[in-house]
Chain A
Protein backbone atom coordinates (compact mmCIF):
# COMPACT_ATOMS: atom_id res chain seq x y z
CA UNK A 1 0.00 0.00 0.00
CA UNK A 2 1.19 3.48 -0.88
CA UNK A 3 2.61 5.36 2.07
CA UNK A 4 3.74 8.87 2.90
CA UNK A 5 4.90 9.02 6.50
CA UNK A 6 5.38 12.18 8.49
CA UNK A 7 7.59 11.74 11.52
CA UNK A 8 5.38 13.50 14.06
CA UNK A 9 1.62 13.89 14.38
CA UNK A 10 1.87 16.70 16.93
CA UNK A 11 4.80 18.97 17.68
CA UNK A 12 5.17 21.84 20.15
CA UNK A 13 8.09 24.23 19.80
CA UNK A 14 9.16 27.57 21.20
CA UNK A 15 9.59 30.79 19.27
CA UNK A 16 13.07 31.02 17.77
CA UNK A 17 13.73 27.28 17.74
CA UNK A 18 14.94 25.54 14.62
CA UNK A 19 12.34 22.96 13.62
CA UNK A 20 12.68 19.98 11.34
CA UNK A 21 9.64 18.25 9.84
CA UNK A 22 10.45 14.95 8.19
CA UNK A 23 8.62 13.12 5.44
CA UNK A 24 9.37 9.74 3.91
CA UNK A 25 7.65 8.03 0.98
CA UNK A 26 7.99 4.40 -0.03
CA UNK A 27 6.69 4.64 -3.61
CA UNK A 28 9.91 5.70 -5.39
CA UNK A 29 8.21 8.97 -6.39
CA UNK A 30 10.30 11.69 -8.00
CA UNK A 31 8.17 14.59 -6.79
CA UNK A 32 7.69 15.68 -3.20
CA UNK A 33 5.80 18.65 -1.82
CA UNK A 34 5.20 20.53 1.42
CA UNK A 35 1.89 22.30 2.01
CA UNK A 36 0.50 24.05 5.03
CA UNK A 37 -3.20 23.89 5.84
CA UNK A 38 -4.95 26.64 7.78
CA UNK A 39 -8.69 27.01 8.44
CA UNK A 40 -10.29 29.16 5.79
CA UNK A 41 -7.09 29.32 3.73
CA UNK A 42 -6.98 25.83 2.31
CA UNK A 43 -3.71 24.19 1.31
CA UNK A 44 -0.86 26.49 0.36
CA UNK A 45 2.30 25.27 -1.33
CA UNK A 46 5.52 26.01 0.54
CA UNK A 47 8.23 24.16 -1.40
CA UNK A 48 8.56 21.24 -3.73
CA UNK A 49 11.24 19.06 -5.24
CA UNK A 50 11.45 17.11 -8.50
CA UNK A 51 14.67 15.32 -7.82
CA UNK A 52 17.31 14.74 -5.20
CA UNK A 53 19.04 17.98 -4.23
CA UNK A 54 16.61 19.98 -6.36
CA UNK A 55 13.99 22.34 -4.95
CA UNK A 56 11.65 25.07 -6.05
CA UNK A 57 9.78 27.70 -4.06
CA UNK A 58 6.05 27.48 -3.83
CA UNK A 59 3.68 30.31 -3.03
CA UNK A 60 4.66 30.90 0.63
CA UNK A 61 8.35 29.98 1.06
CA UNK A 62 9.29 32.80 3.44
CA UNK A 63 10.63 31.50 6.73
CA UNK A 64 11.09 27.97 5.42
CA UNK A 65 13.76 25.93 3.71
CA UNK A 66 13.89 22.31 2.53
CA UNK A 67 16.35 19.51 2.11
CA UNK A 68 16.23 16.47 -0.14
CA UNK A 69 19.39 14.40 0.17
CA UNK A 70 17.69 11.08 -0.69
CA UNK A 71 14.87 10.37 -3.10
CA UNK A 72 12.53 9.04 -0.45
CA UNK A 73 13.00 11.80 2.14
CA UNK A 74 11.99 15.45 2.05
CA UNK A 75 12.53 17.68 5.06
CA UNK A 76 10.95 21.03 5.85
CA UNK A 77 13.02 23.35 8.01
CA UNK A 78 11.82 26.32 10.00
CA UNK A 79 15.03 28.24 10.63
CA UNK A 80 13.60 30.30 13.50
CA UNK A 81 10.07 29.29 14.37
CA UNK A 82 7.49 32.02 14.86
CA UNK A 83 3.94 31.92 16.19
CA UNK A 84 2.51 32.58 12.72
CA UNK A 85 3.97 29.27 11.61
CA UNK A 86 1.58 27.41 13.88
CA UNK A 87 -0.27 25.24 11.38
CA UNK A 88 -0.96 21.78 9.98
CA UNK A 89 1.86 20.75 7.65
CA UNK A 90 1.16 18.21 4.94
CA UNK A 91 3.73 16.36 2.90
CA UNK A 92 2.83 14.80 -0.46
CA UNK A 93 4.51 12.88 -3.23
CA UNK A 94 3.76 11.93 -6.84
CA UNK A 95 5.25 10.31 -9.91
CA UNK A 96 6.90 12.58 -12.46
CA UNK A 97 4.84 11.15 -15.28
CA UNK A 98 4.18 12.40 -18.78
CA UNK A 99 1.65 15.18 -18.93
CA UNK A 100 0.05 16.70 -15.87
CA UNK A 101 -1.97 13.87 -14.39
CA UNK A 102 -0.07 13.92 -11.16
CA UNK A 103 -1.94 12.16 -8.38
CA UNK A 104 -0.70 13.44 -5.06
CA UNK A 105 -0.39 11.05 -2.14
CA UNK A 106 -0.55 12.90 1.16
CA UNK A 107 0.71 12.04 4.60
CA UNK A 108 -1.57 12.47 7.61
CA UNK A 109 0.02 15.77 8.56
CA UNK A 110 2.00 17.30 11.43
CA UNK A 111 0.18 19.77 13.65
CA UNK A 112 2.85 22.24 14.73
CA UNK A 113 2.26 24.65 17.58
CA UNK A 114 4.80 27.42 18.14
CA UNK A 115 4.52 29.02 21.58
Chain B
Protein backbone atom coordinates (compact mmCIF):
# COMPACT_ATOMS: atom_id res chain seq x y z
CA UNK B 1 0.00 0.00 0.00
CA UNK B 2 1.28 3.43 -0.85
CA UNK B 3 2.28 5.21 2.31
CA UNK B 4 3.66 8.41 3.69
CA UNK B 5 5.54 7.94 6.95
CA UNK B 6 5.60 10.90 9.34
CA UNK B 7 7.62 11.55 12.48
CA UNK B 8 7.60 12.43 15.30
CA UNK B 9 4.10 11.67 16.53
CA UNK B 10 4.29 14.56 18.98
CA UNK B 11 6.62 17.49 19.48
CA UNK B 12 7.07 20.07 22.21
CA UNK B 13 9.02 23.21 21.36
CA UNK B 14 9.70 26.36 23.31
CA UNK B 15 8.46 29.66 22.00
CA UNK B 16 10.96 31.06 19.52
CA UNK B 17 12.44 27.65 18.74
CA UNK B 18 12.48 25.69 15.50
CA UNK B 19 9.95 22.91 14.95
CA UNK B 20 10.92 20.17 12.51
CA UNK B 21 8.61 17.45 11.23
CA UNK B 22 9.80 14.78 8.83
CA UNK B 23 8.10 12.65 6.21
CA UNK B 24 9.23 9.87 3.92
CA UNK B 25 7.55 8.23 0.97
CA UNK B 26 8.19 5.18 -1.19
CA UNK B 27 6.38 5.67 -4.47
CA UNK B 28 8.25 7.76 -7.01
CA UNK B 29 4.93 8.42 -8.79
CA UNK B 30 4.04 10.90 -6.04
CA UNK B 31 4.46 14.37 -7.52
CA UNK B 32 3.01 16.92 -5.13
CA UNK B 33 3.73 17.22 -1.42
CA UNK B 34 1.54 19.48 0.71
CA UNK B 35 1.44 20.09 4.44
CA UNK B 36 -1.87 20.59 6.20
CA UNK B 37 -2.46 22.23 9.58
CA UNK B 38 -5.38 21.28 11.79
CA UNK B 39 -6.65 23.08 14.88
CA UNK B 40 -8.97 21.33 17.38
CA UNK B 41 -12.55 21.19 16.15
CA UNK B 42 -11.61 22.22 12.61
CA UNK B 43 -10.84 20.44 9.40
CA UNK B 44 -7.26 20.47 8.09
CA UNK B 45 -6.22 23.46 5.98
CA UNK B 46 -3.44 23.72 3.42
CA UNK B 47 -0.34 25.33 4.90
CA UNK B 48 2.35 25.02 2.24
CA UNK B 49 3.18 22.68 -0.64
CA UNK B 50 6.08 21.72 -2.88
CA UNK B 51 6.66 19.93 -6.15
CA UNK B 52 9.70 17.65 -6.62
CA UNK B 53 11.39 19.93 -9.12
CA UNK B 54 12.52 22.27 -6.32
CA UNK B 55 14.46 21.46 -3.14
CA UNK B 56 13.03 24.14 -0.87
CA UNK B 57 10.00 26.38 -0.56
CA UNK B 58 9.56 29.12 2.01
CA UNK B 59 6.43 31.00 3.04
CA UNK B 60 6.95 33.27 6.00
CA UNK B 61 8.13 31.22 8.96
CA UNK B 62 7.28 27.92 7.23
CA UNK B 63 9.75 26.09 4.99
CA UNK B 64 9.54 22.77 3.18
CA UNK B 65 12.82 21.01 2.43
CA UNK B 66 12.63 18.31 -0.20
CA UNK B 67 15.19 15.56 -0.92
CA UNK B 68 14.11 13.71 -4.03
CA UNK B 69 16.90 11.12 -4.00
CA UNK B 70 16.18 10.18 -0.38
CA UNK B 71 12.41 10.41 -0.93
CA UNK B 72 12.07 12.60 2.15
CA UNK B 73 10.63 16.00 2.89
CA UNK B 74 10.32 18.04 6.03
CA UNK B 75 8.51 21.04 7.46
CA UNK B 76 10.47 23.63 9.41
CA UNK B 77 8.68 26.22 11.51
CA UNK B 78 11.01 29.04 12.47
CA UNK B 79 10.42 31.20 15.55
CA UNK B 80 7.64 28.86 16.69
CA UNK B 81 4.71 30.57 18.43
CA UNK B 82 1.99 29.27 20.76
CA UNK B 83 -0.49 29.93 17.95
CA UNK B 84 1.35 27.31 15.88
CA UNK B 85 0.20 24.61 18.33
CA UNK B 86 -1.81 22.26 16.12
CA UNK B 87 -1.67 18.92 14.37
CA UNK B 88 0.37 18.86 11.17
CA UNK B 89 -0.08 16.35 8.38
CA UNK B 90 2.24 15.76 5.47
CA UNK B 91 0.70 14.33 2.33
CA UNK B 92 1.54 13.14 -1.15
CA UNK B 93 -0.50 13.18 -4.30
CA UNK B 94 -0.83 9.92 -6.14
CA UNK B 95 -2.42 9.12 -9.51
CA UNK B 96 -5.78 7.34 -9.52
CA UNK B 97 -7.72 5.25 -11.99
CA UNK B 98 -9.63 8.31 -13.12
CA UNK B 99 -8.33 11.60 -14.45
CA UNK B 100 -7.00 13.17 -11.29
CA UNK B 101 -5.18 12.46 -8.10
CA UNK B 102 -5.87 11.76 -4.46
CA UNK B 103 -3.93 12.85 -1.40
CA UNK B 104 -2.43 10.25 0.91
CA UNK B 105 -1.73 11.60 4.37
CA UNK B 106 0.82 10.81 7.06
CA UNK B 107 -0.34 9.96 10.56
CA UNK B 108 0.12 13.47 11.88
CA UNK B 109 2.30 15.31 14.38
CA UNK B 110 0.85 17.12 17.36
CA UNK B 111 2.92 20.24 17.97
CA UNK B 112 2.79 22.09 21.27
CA UNK B 113 4.64 25.38 21.56
CA UNK B 114 5.18 26.37 25.17
CA UNK B 115 5.36 29.99 26.16
Min distance, Cβ B61 to any Cβ of chain A, angstroms: 20
Residues in B6-57 with C-beta less than 8 Å from chain A: 6, 9, 31-32, 34, 36, 41-46, 49, 51
Q: How many pairs of residues, A versus B, come closer than 8 Å at their CB atoms?
A: 68
Min distance, Cβ B100 to any Cβ of chain A, angstroms: 5
A16 to B10, CA, bound (A): 36
Min distance, Cβ A7 to any Cβ of chain B, angstroms: 14
Measured between beta carbons, the chain A residues less than 8 angstroms from B46 are 103-104
Cβ of A100 and Cβ of B42 under 8 Å apart? no
> Which secondary structure characterizes the binding site on chain A?
loop
Complex partner residue of A45 from B9, B49, B103, CB under 8 angstroms: B103
Listed stretches A36-44, A70-78, A79-87; interface member: A36-44
Cβ of B6 and Cβ of A48 under 8 Å apart? no
Complex partner residue of B105 from A43, A99, A103, CB under 8 angstroms: A43
Measured between beta carbons, the chain A residues less than 8 angstroms from B45 are 106
> Which secondary structure characterizes the binding site on chain B?
loop
A72 to B45, CA, bound (A): 20
Measured between beta carbons, the chain A residues less than 8 angstroms from B9 are 40
User: Which B residues contact A (CB, under 8 angstroms)?
Assistant: 1, 6, 9, 31-32, 34, 36, 41-46, 49, 51, 89, 93, 96-108
User: Which A residues contact B (CB, under 8 angstroms)?
Assistant: 4, 31, 33, 35, 40-45, 48, 50, 54, 56, 58-59, 90, 92, 96, 99-104, 106-109
